[in-house]
Amino acid sequence: MVKGLVDLVLDLEKGKINFRSLSDGIDTITSAGRFFFHVMASLAQMDRELAIERTKAGLVAARKLGRVGGRRRIMTDSKVESARKLLAAGRLPKDVAADLGISVPTLYRWIPAAASIDAWLIKNLWEPTTILANGERRVAGLANMHNLSLIGHRHEKSI
């Protein structure tokens, strides 16, 4: 950082251009002005490096206390468990997300869609079947469908 600033002022001097800061009283025409400029540039670099060192030391101390950087988790373990129960009960993902105060994409990040689909299929389609006298199998809501094969994320069942 300082090197770039010093190089800029040296390039200006080569072109017979002097640097003068009206607000700070720095004037590179004089040797005292050049000295003051270099001292101020060095102090700025030292201040920047100290800030970086303090930040790194603070992060190390926080890690020793078990803290990690970044935002706090919006999905606590209890929210994840509640979401799983609500989805297994047949609630729509958008309704579950609204109840928990999160977005649908956040819900899907924590509970993959396949798990939600499995829960919906189990609740709505995989009810115990009724076998009729002629051997035909019927499921509530699917009475007119025959030989329906459902393949879920982890389950397979033929009706």
Per-residue pLDDT tens listing for the chain (159 residues): 677 878 888 888 888 888 888 887 788 888 888 888 888 888 989 999 999 999 999 999 999 998 877 788 888 899 999 998 998 888 888 999 999 999 999 998 888 865 556 555 655 555 555 566 676 655 554 444 444 444 444 444 444
DSSP 81-110: HHHHHHHHTT--HHHHHHHHT--HHHHHHH
Out of 64, 92, 114, a domain closes at: 64
Specify the pTM: 0.42
Question: DSSP class of residue 150?
Answer: E
Residue length of the chain: 159
Torsion, CA 17, CA 18, CA 21, CA 26, rounded to 10? 170
Asked if residue 69 belongs to a domain, the reply is no
- Say which CATH number the domain at 138 has: 1.10.10
Instruction: Give the domain extent around 60.
Output: 2-64
Where do the DSSP E strands lie in 6-146? 20-21, 26-27, 130-131, 137-138
Domain count across the chain: 2
Asked if residue 72 belongs to a domain, the reply is no
Q: How many CB atoms lie within 10 A of CB 12?
A: 13
59 and 88 together in one domain? no
Amino acid in position 151: I
Asked if residue 101 belongs to a domain, the reply is yes
60 and 82 together in one domain? no
Out of 64, 92, 110, a domain closes at: 64
Asked if residue 49 belongs to a domain, the reply is yes
Question: Using CA atoms, how far apart are residues 73 and 79, in angstroms rounded to an integer?
Answer: 11
Asked if residue 70 belongs to a domain, the reply is no
